[in-house]
């Protein structure tokens, strides 16, 4: 390792994207201001139509956040106390947090170390050997809970191994809620996009996602007419008609300013995905050219899967030292995620040990997110690679 050479390469810089669209976005925001119609208006309806078309889903319902998308999806499936929902622990907190908030119990199944998504063999093993059918209900033999749903996470922008997950769900009578917060536009082999594979797809428009709002926002998608109607009711406190409440819902509404911004940005999403894919390809060949192929494990896009690279995750030795060194070189890098959910203090009551999900624990120690946003220059990308090469002494 030699003295750091400095060049500013932030993990994410949203300013170039705003600059390119500023005139159009500012006008759209001002239009909402002029209308003084802030809630569930024309922009929300337009976003929902565009989002449904983009995903290939029959319905899209725009919401307040990705977290609320997960919560409302579970509520729409009547999941609550006594129920269990299977997911992976190597994800953003909202995946497990929303399951717990409904009163249901999260069941953690470890990840596949290559895709970072739920390990389908372990999932099948859990369902086939640790659950039993009692009076038509799938029961977790260890806890006595009713296993109701699988919540696969399409982590970093690549879809989970959905065909076998959907087959297991059918076999065991389970619902599927996709956590597609990081994966808008990604697809499984054959091209079917996330959000249309399970019963409900959940999306986040948090500013750091590939499609980011100017604040918090999210959406759900579904092909089921009855579920779509229920999701729309739950979004406004279960109200239909006005002031008549057949269900207990919440305030899960998007606001018109966010919807107006998202309508404009959605038109550019495919270009931004393509730029992220180019950046990922650049890293792949540049790491190999730098002689780092044996040291740095780059993201694997599985055959036929469409990876949209919300994050570019590498696996490295001496991860924390490398991250500190990159900081000295001007390179932003982040750990997603340092503590898997099965090791979070708030989930101690579930009784999991770190070694229950060893690949999640290992990923939390070894992975690092590199800058991948669309506006990066080749000079910046090469600086990231050169800095890593210097750290490992191969340059």
Ligand X SMILES: *Cc1c(COP(=O)(O)O)cnc(C)c1O
CA 323/CA 329 separation, integer angstroms: 10
- From the list 88, 140, 186, 204, which residue makes contact with ligand X (rule: CB under 6 A)? 204
Residues 317-376 that bind ligand X (CB under 6 A): none
Sign of CA dihedral 211, 216, 70, 246: negative
Contact flag: residue 67 with ligand X (CB under 6 A): yes
Closer to ligand X by Cβ: residue 182 or 222: 182
Q: Is 221 in the site for ligand X (CB under 6 A)?
A: no
User: Of 52, 71, 75, 94, which lies in the binding site for ligand X, with binding defined by CB under 6 A?
Assistant: 94
Of 55, 69, 103, give the one whose Cα is nearest residue 234: 69
Give yes or no for residue 311 binding ligand X (CB under 6 A): no
Label residues 367-381 b or e (16+ Cβ within 10 Å = b): bbbbbbbbbbeeebb
Q: How far is the CB of 65 from ligand X (least distance, A)?
A: 4
Residue 308: which residues within 8 A CB-CB, separation 6 or more?
A: 157, 158, 183, 184, 185, 186, 210, 273, 276, 277
Q: Which of 182, 279, 360, 380 binds ligand X (CB under 6 A)?
A: 182
Beta strands in the chain (DSSP E): 59-63, 83-87, 105-108, 131-134, 137-140, 146-150, 175-179, 200-204, 218-222, 312-315, 367-370
Among positions 42-61, residues that touch ligand X (CB under 6 A) are none
Of positions 43, 65, 102, 295, contacts ligand X by CB under 6 A = 65
* Nearest-approach distance from CB 89 to ligand X, in angstroms: 12
Among the listed ranges 63-71, 188-196, 267-275, 375-383, the one in contact with ligand X (CB under 6 A) is 63-71
Q: Which of 206, 287, 305, 352 binds ligand X (CB under 6 A)?
A: 206
CB of 261 to ligand X, least distance (A): 14
Q: Which residues sit at the interface with ligand X, rule CB under 6 A?
A: 65-67, 91-92, 94-95, 153, 179, 181-182, 204, 206, 216, 218
């Amino acid at each position: 390792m030699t003295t750091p050479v400095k060049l500013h390469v932030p993990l994410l810089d949203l300013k170039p994207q705003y600059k390119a669209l500023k005139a159009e976005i500012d006008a759209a925001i001002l239009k909402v201001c002029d209308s003084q119609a802030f809630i569930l208006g024309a922009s929300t309806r337009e976003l929902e139509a565009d989002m449904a078309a983009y995903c290939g889903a029959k319905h899209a319902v725009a919401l307040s956040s990705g977290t609320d998308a997960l919560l409302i999806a579970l509520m729409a499936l009547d999941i609550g106390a006594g129920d269990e929902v299977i997911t992976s622990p190597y994800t953003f907190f909202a995946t497990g947090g929303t399951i717990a908030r409904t009163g249901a119990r999260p069941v953690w199944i470890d990840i596949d170390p290559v895709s970072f998504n739920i390990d389908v063999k372990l999932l099948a093993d859990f369902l086939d050997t640790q659950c039993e059918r009692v009076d038509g209900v799938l029961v977790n033999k260890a806890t006595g809970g009713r296993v109701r749903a699988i919540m696969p996470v399409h982590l970093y922008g690549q879809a989970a191994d959905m065909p076998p997950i959907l087959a297991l769900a059918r076999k065991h009578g389970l619902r599927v809620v996709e956590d597609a917060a990081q994966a808008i536009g990604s697809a499984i082999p054959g091209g079917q996009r996330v959000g249309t594979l399970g019963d409900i797809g959940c999306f986040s428009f948090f500013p750091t996602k590939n499609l980011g709002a100017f604040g918090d926002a999210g959406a759900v998608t579904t092909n089921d007419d009855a579920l779509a109607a229920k999701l729309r009711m739950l979004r406004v406190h279960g109200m239909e008609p006005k002031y008549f409440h057949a269900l207990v819902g919440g305030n899960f509404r998007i606001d018109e300013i966010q919807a107006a911004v998202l309508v404009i940005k959605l038109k550019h999403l495919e270009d931004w995905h393509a730029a992220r894919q180019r950046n990922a390809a650049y890293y792949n060949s540049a790491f190999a050219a730098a002689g780092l192929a044996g040291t740095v494990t780059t993201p694997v896009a599985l055959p036929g899967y469409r990876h949209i690279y919300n994050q570019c995750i590498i696996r490295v030795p001496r991860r924390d030292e490398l991250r500190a060194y990159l900081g000295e070189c001007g390179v932003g890098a982040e750990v997603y995620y340092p503590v898997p959910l099965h090791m979070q203090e708030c989930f101690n009551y579930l009784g999991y040990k770190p070694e229950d999900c060893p690949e999640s624990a290992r990923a939390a120690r070894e992975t690092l997110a590199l800058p991948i946003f669309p506006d990066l220059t080749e000079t910046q990308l090469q600086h990231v690679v050169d800095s890593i090469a210097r750290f490992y002494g191969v340059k």
